[in-house]
Structure 1
Amino acid sequence: MDKDRIEGTAKQVKGKIKEDIGKVTGNAETEAEGKAEQAVGKTQDTVGKLKDAARDALKK
């Protein structure tokens, strides 16, 4: 598993927590930051998946 996948997943979780805190506290800025962090995490996770796929393809 690529480190980008691990870091991306961690960012998604952190972003979701931040988004939920923003919702509970009524802080739209924190909620938006959480959503943005989740998007970055999803992108990083996708990059990691592509790297894994490329490595697997080269092994064959």
Structure 2
Amino acid sequence: MSAGDDIKNNAEKLAGKAKEGAGKLTDNERLEAEGRADQTKASAKQAGENAKDAAHKAGESVKDAFDR
């Protein structure tokens, strides 16, 4: 995962937390739910990118094993 992707995902999580907090302060359940959804979406993106990186590393390990 690139640093740029990591920063984007963390920014999305932070925005989601802020939105959720604003919803709690204003007693706006819809805004609160949107904030939680934004956080979940960012977490899912990050998990997908981590899985992609792990698969890439595993592929490199297999390739290196055959190159020996």
TM-score for the superposition, normalised by structure 1:
0.80
Q: CA RMSD in A?
A: 1.9
Tell me the TM-score normalised to structure 2 length.
Answer: 0.73
Name the CA shift for 1:39/1:15 in 2 (closer, same or farther; >3 Å).
Answer: same
Between the aligned residues of both structures, percent identity stands at 35
Task: After the TM superposition, list the runs of 4 or more consecutive aligned residues in structure 1 that deviate by more than 6 angstroms.
Answer: none
Shift of 1:8: 2.8
Q: Which runs of 5+ in 2 are unaligned?
A: 62-68
Secondary structure of the equivalent of 1:26? coil
Q: Which has the higher contact order (CA 8 A, sep 6+)?
A: 1
> Are the structure 2 counterparts of residues 49 and 43 from structure 1 closer, same or farther at C-alpha, using a change threshold of 3 Å?
same
What's the counterpart of residue 21 of structure 1?
22
Aligned partner of 2:50 in structure 1 is 49
